Structure 1
Amino acid sequence: MTTVSASIATAPIPAEWAPHRAMWVGWPSHADLWEDNLEPAQAEVEALVRALAGPGREQVRLMVGHPEALAEAKARFAGVAGVTVVDGRFGDIWLRDTGPIFGEGSANAAAFRFNGWGGKYELEHDDTVADQIGAASGVTLTRHDVVLEGGALDHDGRGTILTTRQCLLNPNRNPGWTQDLAEAALAKALGARKVLWLGDGLLNDHTDGHVDNLARFVAPGVVACPVAWGRGDPNDDVYDAVAQALSQMTDADGNPITVLRLPSPGFVGDEDEKPVPASHMNFLIANGAVIVPTYGDARAADLACQGLATVFPDRKIIPLPSLAILSGGGSFHCISQQEPE
């Protein structure tokens, strides 16, 4: 693997709905982190992997992050077409944030500094995941000396990037960053032509408001975001502020943003009934499918899936449980990273 220094801006990052040559997924590997949720989380990730590797879909590269988990993972997926188990090392499974962001045709990939989501969770090997994925995929990494996580951004494939001020301008990432400095860095590293800035993310999100839990491009000029579901949704005001802001924005080509509102999962709490950042927005767009995380409210999940079917008519919409994965802080989008064709 060759690593080169950052220089000129690249072409815009492909949209997630562009064809993929592979999809990386992190495998829950550390019993000391997951405790009683290890086996349930593994079961949920297995269901995700099998859905991704369905006929005509993804070549899944399942990264196992601890040697004690490797043999069992290989045995679990032995004979499953389209799944390659990769022996790696990571602190935890959030490859969207720790891995590289692949460019057009996966001819190269952008690698950033990772500091444990602003110093909250600094786990051994997480800062080497980009190198490991670059080496395993045979892709040259272009290094950028800024702290950035992939889940903090969403891309329309045409140079429009969606993000939040709460995360990207947080001083626990890049002290002194302004919108202008951030936009210049995104243009240089990821080919951004325009950045759409939202405010705060979900309550109690330890990522400081990653946009992939809040709002997602589903087509050029179309952004999905939640609408509160049921009583006591802790993010009701945030969702409405996002929808209002998006309705007044245009993309890099000057086209007004169309807002697609989908039901949130409603209130989801931990064992102490503290709200946790459950979101249908953490769906994963795959070759031939969209995998939607669900959290126990079947009606809310069904309506969210029906809404996504209107913008992805040629993909199968697959709802899958993600409560155990959520106990670690994220869902399907957070644990994956695509390699575009």
Structure 2
Amino acid sequence: MSRGSFSPTLAGSQLLAATVSEAESPSLPEPTGAGRRFGAEWEPHTRTFMSWPARDDVWDDYLDDVRWNIAELARAIAYYEAVVLLARPEQADAAQRACGSGVQVISLPVDDLWARDTVPVFVQETGGVVGVDLNFNGWGAKQPHGEDALIGRELLSRCRIPRLRAPFVAEGGALETDGAGTLLVTASSLVNENRNPGKSREVLQAELRDTLGVEQVIWFDGVRGEDVTDAHVDCLVRFVAPGVVVLDTAFPGAAADSWSRSSEQARRVLTEAADARGHRFEVIDLPRPDPALITGDGAHFVASYANFYIANGAVFVPRFGDRKADERACGMLKEHFADRDIVPVYIDEIAAGGGGIHCATHDQPA
């Protein structure tokens, strides 16, 4: 996809004009899990939330380029569903010009683009959608994100969506669900003193079940300390259907490293595990591109096709420059999302910052 190739309409655009206000969001009792469901990403969305990169002390000379990536991605998604982009008040006009009229930009102080982690996750209850504030703390205080830490409270208040504060610290990219009671997580990003000091896996598992309404939590070891997220699950294993997952795997012939060993450990877990319905998993390898052919670079570059995003009518997949691998990833996802467009997107600057398409987007269920 070339720059400027999308000219989005307000794709079924349910903009926030009717819902955004400064009113306080209704309060809820402490988590019980009763009647609560954490839906799958392929279920219908009301909108996609994104955030505008704000700080040159984070991105240095790459800030303009990463903003272009975000604007291009926002325009592409807005072709299929409503997109609401959060931007600092002094940057909102520039963000609106970059994204075009098909994207709604609202003024709300943000630090960076990682909406998957800073926007609350949404669960469904009998009374409607509830936003679960995961107490974002900059991925274990690795980076200062004072504004992003407040997004959960501020955004839910303005959207008049009830807010539920989780009893643990996590990020949206750390949680992957099939919508049918199964949750996938990495221990490295949850059972970690930088988020949840003193809490065991067993305690966190009970809290995840109660807060999100899931039944079965499947744990992978993950990787500690080698990236800012401590190895979020959304770059490792993703559901494409209940009981069916794609697994990020190393480029064939690549030397073993922490990430390939993490992938193999996840494979062993999935081979032995069952989902909430008691069904065994079908595991499909999703190989990374050839490192010699990718067009991006950087010590923190994330070249995982698993970090795709499922929107209404489309699946957005990173394009890394290895044409054979790019096409293979798109083809594999098309097999599982035959009724959706598969849209490859250039994200080299986002990937150089340590994330991907999924990291930069956050769905609100219908």
TM-score (norm 1): 0.92
Q: Over residues 68-122 of structure 1, what are the superposed CA-to-partner deviations in whole Å (9 max), with x where a residue is unaligned?
A: 3211112233432xx2111111121112111111112752111121221111012
Which residue, out of 218, 227, 231, partners 2:249? 227
**1:209 aligns to what SS in structure 2?**
coil
Is the contact between residue 44 and residue 321 of structure 1 (CA under 8 Å) also seen in structure 2?
Answer: yes
Is the contact between residue 203 and residue 277 of structure 1 (CA under 8 Å) also seen in structure 2?
Answer: no
1:184 aligns with 2:209: no
Give the CA deviation at 1:42: 1.6
Residue 77 of structure 1 corresponds to which residue in structure 2? Answer: 99
Query: Which whole-Å CA distance do the structure 2 matches of 1:48 and 1:206 have between them?
Result: 23
Matches within 5 A, 1:164-183: 164-183=186-205
Residue 334 of structure 1 corresponds to which residue in structure 2? Answer: 359
Query: Which whole-Å CA distance do the structure 2 matches of 1:202 and 1:240 have between them?
Result: 16
**2:63 aligns to what SS in structure 1?**
helix
Is the contact between residue 95 and residue 129 of structure 1 (CA under 8 Å) also seen in structure 2?
Answer: no
Structure 2 spans left out of the alignment, 5+ residues: 1-24
Give the 3 Å change call, closer, same or farther, for CA 318–202 of structure 1 in structure 2: farther
Give the CA deviation at 1:177: 1.8
Query: Which whole-Å CA distance do the structure 2 matches of 1:26 and 1:273 have between them?
Result: 22
Residue 107 of structure 2 corresponds to which residue in structure 1? Answer: 87
Residue 58 of structure 1 corresponds to which residue in structure 2? Answer: 81
Matched residues, number: 336
Query: Which whole-Å CA distance do the structure 2 matches of 1:32 and 1:76 have between them?
Result: 21
Give the 3 Å change call, closer, same or farther, for CA 205–294 of structure 1 in structure 2: farther
Matches within 5 A, 1:183-332: 183-201=205-223, 204-232=226-254, 234=257, 235-267=259-291, 274=299, 276-332=301-357
Query: Which whole-Å CA distance do the structure 2 matches of 1:39 and 1:337 have between them?
Result: 22
Amino acid of the structure 1 residue aligned with 2:111: G
Give the CA deviation at 1:270: 11
Query: Which whole-Å CA distance do the structure 2 matches of 1:113 and 1:302 have between them?
Result: 38
Query: Which whole-Å CA distance do the structure 1 matches of 2:323 and 2:192 have between them?
Result: 35
Q: Over residues 212-249 of structure 1, what are the superposed CA-to-partner deviations in whole Å (9 max), with x where a residue is unaligned?
A: 01111110011111222144354333222222321221
Give the CA deviation at 1:186: 0.6
Sequence identity of aligned pairs in percent?
Answer: 35
Amino acid of the structure 2 residue aligned with 1:334: C
**1:280 aligns to what SS in structure 2?**
coil
Query: Which whole-Å CA distance do the structure 2 matches of 1:205 and 1:261 have between them?
Result: 22
Give the CA deviation at 1:207: 0.4
Structure 1 residue runs of 4+, over 6 Å off?
A: 268-273
Is the contact between residue 102 and residue 109 of structure 1 (CA under 8 Å) also seen in structure 2?
Answer: yes
Is the contact between residue 263 and residue 301 of structure 1 (CA under 8 Å) also seen in structure 2?
Answer: no
Query: Which whole-Å CA distance do the structure 2 matches of 1:116 and 1:3 have between them?
Result: 25
**2:66 aligns to what SS in structure 1?**
helix
Query: Which whole-Å CA distance do the structure 1 matches of 2:27 and 2:350 have between them?
Result: 33
Query: Which whole-Å CA distance do the structure 2 matches of 1:188 and 1:202 have between them?
Result: 26
TM-score (norm 2): 0.86
Residue 49 of structure 1 corresponds to which residue in structure 2? Answer: 74
Give the CA deviation at 1:282: 0.8
Structure 1 spans left out of the alignment, 5+ residues: none
Is the contact between residue 318 and residue 357 of structure 2 (CA under 8 Å) also seen in structure 1?
Answer: yes
Residue 100 of structure 1 corresponds to which residue in structure 2? Answer: 120
Amino acid of the structure 2 residue aligned with 1:14: G
Query: Which whole-Å CA distance do the structure 2 matches of 1:22 and 1:128 have between them?
Result: 20
Q: Over residues 249-284 of structure 1, what are the superposed CA-to-partner deviations in whole Å (9 max), with x where a residue is unaligned?
A: 110010101101111134489999646333111100
Amino acid of the structure 2 residue aligned with 1:29: A
Residue 14 of structure 2 corresponds to which residue in structure 1? Answer: none
Is the contact between residue 252 and residue 287 of structure 2 (CA under 8 Å) also seen in structure 1?
Answer: no
**1:162 aligns to what SS in structure 2?**
strand
**2:31 aligns to what SS in structure 1?**
coil
Is the contact between residue 160 and residue 195 of structure 1 (CA under 8 Å) also seen in structure 2?
Answer: yes
Query: Which whole-Å CA distance do the structure 2 matches of 1:278 and 1:201 have between them?
Result: 16
Query: Which whole-Å CA distance do the structure 1 matches of 2:349 and 2:98 have between them?
Result: 19
Amino acid of the structure 2 residue aligned with 1:37: Y
Residue 39 of structure 2 corresponds to which residue in structure 1? Answer: 14
Give the CA deviation at 1:202: 8.8
Which residue, out of 146, 164, 182, partners 1:142? 164
Two-structure CA RMSD over aligned residues (Å) = 2.2
**2:358 aligns to what SS in structure 1?**
coil
Give the CA deviation at 1:316: 0.8
**1:145 aligns to what SS in structure 2?**
coil
Give the 3 Å change call, closer, same or farther, for CA 322–273 of structure 1 in structure 2: closer
Residue 133 of structure 1 corresponds to which residue in structure 2? Answer: 155
Query: Which whole-Å CA distance do the structure 1 matches of 2:198 and 2:120 have between them?
Result: 24
